[in-house]
Amino acid sequence: MWTRISDLDRMFATMDLLRGKMDRLGTGLDRSYGEGSGWRVVGGFPRTNMYDNGDSFQVMAELPGVAKEDLSIRIQGNYLELSGVRKAVVPEGFTAQRVERDSSSFTRSFTLEAEVDADKVEAVLKDGLLTLILPKAESAKPKQISIN
């Protein structure tokens, strides 16, 4: 059975209308402001980059407003866990008029591709950026075998 082009046009127009209504339904509910449209990943705090140079991993995590006393870093084998609390403090004598940076706790865990030598880990928190240098355990590093 042949369908007229106008019927197809009406069907696609209806689908576009439905999609537009669905997009507007969630406007502002957990949206990243200033970063364009679309939903952001809930629980993606802190945003983290991870790099591998062969001998060690480097992890960089954005932690604005988190003090080092409120941060916990755990390493066991190839498991890394970052957890902490970001506190929002209302200045004395003031009442909150708008709160977008509220107090919250977080936990992020990662399974690394190799075990880490936990005794040699370096951690630096500067300007809201946590940098971890995680040297790989000797048993995880590749060994060159010479042939006799």
Let me know if residue 12 belongs to a domain.
Answer: no
- CATH number of the domain that residue 73 is part of: 2.60.40.790
Let me know if residue 106 belongs to a domain.
Answer: yes
Number of separate domains in the chain: 1
pLDDT score recorded for residue 65:
85
Let me know if residue 129 belongs to a domain.
Answer: yes
pTM, 2 dp: 0.64
Let me know if residue 8 belongs to a domain.
Answer: no
Q: Where are the beta strands (DSSP E) in the chain?
A: 48-52, 56-62, 71-76, 79-86, 104-111, 122-126, 129-135
DSSP 78: T
Q: Which residue range(s) make up the domain with 66?
A: 48-89+102-138
Let me know if residue 30 belongs to a domain.
Answer: no
Let me know if residue 25 belongs to a domain.
Answer: no
Conformational region of residue 35, where left means phi above 0, alpha means psi within -120 to 50, and beta covers everything else: alpha
Provide the pairing of β-strand 56-62 with 48-52: antiparallel
8 A C-beta contact, residue 80 and residue 56: no
* Helix, strand, or coil (residue 89): coil
pLDDT score recorded for residue 112:
92
Let me know if residue 85 belongs to a domain.
Answer: yes
Which of 142, 136, 141 lies closest to 115, judged by CA? Answer: 136
pLDDT score recorded for residue 58:
97
pLDDT score recorded for residue 41:
40
pLDDT (tens, 9 = 90+) of the chain, 148 residues, equals 556 777 777 888 888 888 877 777 765 554 444 444 443 444 567 899 999 998 999 999 999 889 999 999 999 989 999 999 988 888 899 988 888 777 888 899 999 999 999 999 999 999 999 999 999 998 877 778 889 8
Let me know if residue 57 belongs to a domain.
Answer: yes
